[in-house]
Structure 1
Amino acid sequence: MPLLHIALRAGKPEAYRKALCDNLYRALRETFNVPEDDEFMVITEHDAANFRYSPTYLGVARSDDLVFIQITANNTRTLEQKKALYQRITQLLGENPGVRPEDVFISLVEVAKENWSFGHGLAQYA
C-alpha cells in the first residue's frame, strides 16, 4: 500500500497532474506488485519561494520542472524491485507528461506493515 506525495511548482495544467498520477500508479503496479484499486496520492503545488532544490547536486542538471516524489511503502521490496521502480517511473513520466529524467526526484520511505491504518482505527496489516 504505497502512499505518494508529489510536490511540484505551481502552474501545471490538470492533464499534466493527472498524467503524473496515472503513470506513477502504473509504475507501482508493474514493478512493486501493487494491487488494483490500491491508489493513494496527493499533489502539492508550490510557488517559487517555497520550492527549493539544488540545480546541480550529484551532477544532475535540474530545472524548475523538478518533481519530488516521496513514496511511503512496506519494507518488503528487493533492491532489484526498487531500481526497476525508479527506472520505470522515469521512463513513463518522460513519455507523459514529458518530465525530463533529470527532473524526476524519488525518495522511498520504507515502513513496517503494522505502521498502517486504512480506516476504522485498525492496523489492517498487523
Structure 2
Amino acid sequence: MPLVNISLRKGTSADYRRAIADAIHQAMMDAFRIPADDRFILISEHSPENMIQDRTFFGIERIDKSVFLQIVVNHRPVAQKASFYEFVVKNLGHTPGLRPEDIFIGIVEVAPENWWAFARNVNASGSDAVLGTALPRP
C-alpha cells in the first residue's frame, strides 16, 4: 500500500495534477506490481516561497514546473526501485510532458508493522494479521 505525496507549484490544472497522479500510479503498478485499486495519493500545491529548489543543482537548469515525489512503501529491492524511477520519468515525460531534470523522487521504506489499513491487515475474526493482536470493536 504505497502512500504517495506529490508536491507542485501552485497554479496547475486539475487535469495536470491528475495526469501526474495517474503516471505515478501506473509506474507503481509496473515496477512494484501493486494492484490497480491500491491508490493512495496526496497532491499539494505550494507558493514559490514555499517550494524551494536550487535552479542549477549539479549544473543542470531546472524550471518552475519541478515535481517533488515522496513515496512511502514497504521495503523494495534495488532493481524494483530503479525500474520505478525509469517508469516515472518515462510516464511523466509522456503526460504531462515533464523533463527528467525536473523530477525529484524520494522513497521512504517502512517495515510492515508500521503500516495499517483495515482491509489489508484485519482478518474476519478482528485480529490484525501483521501485529498479531485483536482490534477493539466499537
> Could you state the TM-score of these two structures normalised by the residue count of structure 1?
0.92
Alignment of 1:64-75 (within 5 A): 64-75=64-75
Structure 1 residue 61, shift from structure 2 partner:
2.2
Aligned equivalent of 1:91? 90
Instruction: Output the amino acid matched with 1:83.
Output: A
Structure 2 unmatched ranges of 5 or more: 123-127, 132-138
Q: Aligned pair in 2 of structure 1 residues 19, 124: CA closer, same or farther (>3 Å)?
A: farther
Give the equivalent residue in structure 2 for 1:49.
49
The equivalent residue for 1:103 is 102
> Which position in structure 2 is the counterpart of 1:113?
112
1:3 deviates by 0.2
Q: 1:32, 1:56 → 2: CA distance?
A: 31
**Alignment deviations for residues 72-107 of structure 1 (CA, whole Å, 9 cap, x no partner):** 0001x2111101100110110010011111111000
Q: Distance in 1 between matches of 2:112 and 2:38?
A: 15
Count of aligned residue pairs for this structure pair: 125
The one-letter code sitting in structure 2 at the alignment partner of 1:44 is: S
Q: Which amino acid aligns with 2:92?
A: L
- Secondary structure of 1:5's counterpart equals strand
Determine what percentage of the aligned residue pairs are the same residue. Answer: 41
Runs of 4+ in 1 over 2 A off after TM superposition: 58-61, 122-126
Higher Rg: 2
**Structure 1 vs Structure 2 CA RMSD:** 1.8
CA distance in 2, matches of 1:124, 1:106: 31
Distance 1:106 1:124, change over 3 A: farther
Which residue matches 1:4? 4
What is the identity, as a one-letter code, of the residue corresponding to 2:93? G
Residues 125, 99 of structure 1: alpha-carbon distance in 2 compared, 3 angstrom cutoff? farther
